[in-house]
Amino acid sequence: MAENKTIKVKNVEFESQYQPEGKSFTIFYFTLTTEDGEQARFSTNGRTQTKFLIGNTYEVAVSTKNNRSGINTFFDYSEAEKEKHKGSGSTGGGGQKKGGAWQPYVRPRSEVMSIIAQSSYEAAVQASCKIAKDKLTSVSQVKDIAGIFATFISEASGLNTPECKTGVSDNIKVANQKSIVYQAALKRAIDMLDLPLVLTTRTTQGIITLTELIVKDINEIANGL
């Protein structure tokens, strides 16, 4: 039987991915470090995970598994934690009662911004390896690029509007959906750096410009369906 404990997340790093033979899905593995320094693995079905967010506290079920990489400690939501996150999938939060009716959960702006920060840092690492591998001399430079990407996404999606900053749920919900599109488009823009495109794309601003173009193309494709 798995042991339950409460943890606070200090850091999360992508580790590996695995596609079971004969299956169409992929499992993504991450390493989580708690504020107490304990490390454990967890898995999700998405490369950009929102299951465990840095700075948040969770009740987890702790188990030991013997898999391809040996014997490892794994964290997963406890049953109580799963109940909190019902309504928006395994990586979201639960709904809430309001006036006798069940209302869908809307992520608070702080949680959305935490997701964007993680996604932007991952994008910054990937971009740095492609456009500035021999120029960067410190981790803080990668952080600066991540900050530029995060600011771009939050502004483009509308998360910096007064309504979102004051916690208007409907506005945050719309902005969050837009931010998901921009985060995905940013990753595709970085992937496209391997293509023989114009040289101006091989800069931070060039990547942002390409991201905007991808979002525009996505919207045009969607409107034409």
pLDDT at 89: 46
Greater confidence (71 vs 147) lies with 147
* Residue 196: exposure state from Cβ atoms within 10 A (0-12, 13-18, ≥19): exposed
Residue 105: DSSP 8-state: P
Buried/exposed code over 71-86 (b: 16+ C-beta within 10 A; e: otherwise): ebebbbbbeebeeebe
Tokens 């992929």 belong to: 26
Task: Provide the b/e sequence for 90-106 (b: ≥16 CB within 10 Å).
Answer: ebbbebeeeeeeeeebb
CA 201 to chain centre: 24
Instruction: Find the mean pLDDT for residues 41-54.
Output: 86
More confident residue, 159 or 3: 159
Question: Which of 61-75, 146-160, 165-179 has the largest mean confidence?
Answer: 146-160
Distance of CA 174 to the CA centre of its chain: 17
Mean pLDDT of 136-140: 85
Cα–Cα distance list, 166 to 106, 118, 140 (Å): 14, 23, 30
pLDDT in tens, 178-195: 999 999 999 999 988 888
